Amino acid sequence: MSDSSNLEDTLYEDDIPYDTEDHAEATVQPLLRGKNRTYKTVQKFSNAKEANDFMKSEGGWTLKSRNETSEGRKDFYSCKFNRRQLNGERPTARCTASVCLHYEDDSLNVTLLRNGALHVHDGLPTDQGLSDEQKESVGDIFASGIQRPKLVLNKLRRRGIPEPRLTRLKAYFTALRQKKYGSSRATFGELYQWCIERSEIPKDMDTPFVQQIFDESEDTPKIRILFTTKRLISLTSLASNVHADATYKLNWIGYPVIVTGCTDKSGRFHPFCLAITMAETEVDFAFIFSTIKSLAAQLLNIQFNPSILVADCADAIADGFSSAFSNDFVRVNCWAHVHRNMQKQLLTIKSEKLRSQFILDIDARQLAHMVDSFNKAVALFAENWDAIGEDSNETVKRQIEQCLQHFVEEYCDRYLGWFEGHAPGHPSHNYALESTNNVI
């Protein structure tokens, strides 16, 4: 079966129960929902392309579910006639044949498994899908950049072509996107091969390349991938600080995207690279910082050793930084994170007036331009709020004591790099990087 004829296999109407009395003579097979199903291995493929080509050649299968397991991805397909209603017609039977493609997580191999049920298609209506004329027109419209289904229907109407059902068109579009852009998810083997093909450093300054680590020494493989260009790495020659932060707004297989770069004297952010890791551990950040340092030495012949780290209060970032560079650096804790975290902590104080006063006092300490001034301001802050607590009832006193203790222990003793004078000439926040994350 050709690719185009298989694109609409996922197009069906919603399941609509029908009156069995009107179909007393129909032979309806029982549903297997909620019952154990046994799948047996019938074939193995050396890579995902072979498996996908085989499924296309067979035809007649509809992807029902996709599960990410500890053993790899499993795609379950059912026969396209396993429906209560197809093209508005009620079948007299339901085909329960099913297969599963198991993409092994630690290799390129793909295993085909079947549930053993035979195909039963007697008396079932035929799914015609989009007509050839509709497919050709939709393909042209899609290629022109119009990819919103309702706009496509409007275009078809103007061309005098019969309009397909909206659900059918949406599913056809899904298949077109997958054919053009590929799957949004990748197996371990596919990802590894993709990185190997792009790991060579190009001559062009703006052609991206990747540096990667695939660690299979443990039960769960560890993946770390860094994307950059020679021009972005060249920015390290002018940088004295490093900003780092992870965003989950760009979920790529559910992993964090870590953005690293520097800021200039005007506060503008300049990225060095993007990185994808499976977590935000010390080892992950050490990989990013070490790779930047190594590329700077390899491409620019310089020893990149920044003295300022601007990030949130995560210990993993600072530990990874010291592993890659040295312990002799100034750590700036992003003021915005401190402010937001204290606002959450202050919710334990029921009085809105006291909460506002507490946070305003913290804001005033943030403006300190010298370490001595900051220390004296914090001492006065603690003394003042101790007095306010003593003048309050027991409940309010306990609430104030808890917030004051949290503030002093976390942001005056442990993470104190959030005031203006901690690193003169450098930002006390990560606003520039975070604004970049918002528009990626």
Tell me the pLDDT band of 302, cut-offs 50, 70 and 90: very high
Instruction: Dump pLDDT digits (tens) for 351-386.
Output: 999 999 999 999 999 999 999 999 999 999 999 999
- Residue 420: what pLDDT? 94
Between CA 396 and CA 32 the distance in angstroms is 59
Instruction: Dump pLDDT digits (tens) for 317-334.
Output: 999 999 999 889 999 999
| Percentage of residues of the chain with pLDDT beyond 70 | 83
* Nearest CA among 341, 326, 328, 320 for reference residue 418: 341
* Nearest CA among 254, 197, 260 for reference residue 226: 260
Give just the sign of the alpha carbon dihedral 350, 351, 353, 354. negative
How far CA 388 is from CA of 252, 364, 391, 392, 395, in Å, comes to 49, 18, 5, 6, 13
Higher pLDDT, 181 or 390: 390
- Residue 135: what pLDDT? 87
Least confident of 119-128, 277-286, 299-308, 379-388: 119-128
pLDDT at 415 over 70: yes
- Residue 11: what pLDDT? 40
- Residue 354: what pLDDT? 93
pLDDT at 280 over 80: yes
Tell me the pLDDT band of 338, cut-offs 50, 70 and 90: very high
Q: What is the mean pLDDT of residues 108-116?
A: 90
Domain ranges of the chain: 4-181, 198-333+433-439, 335-417
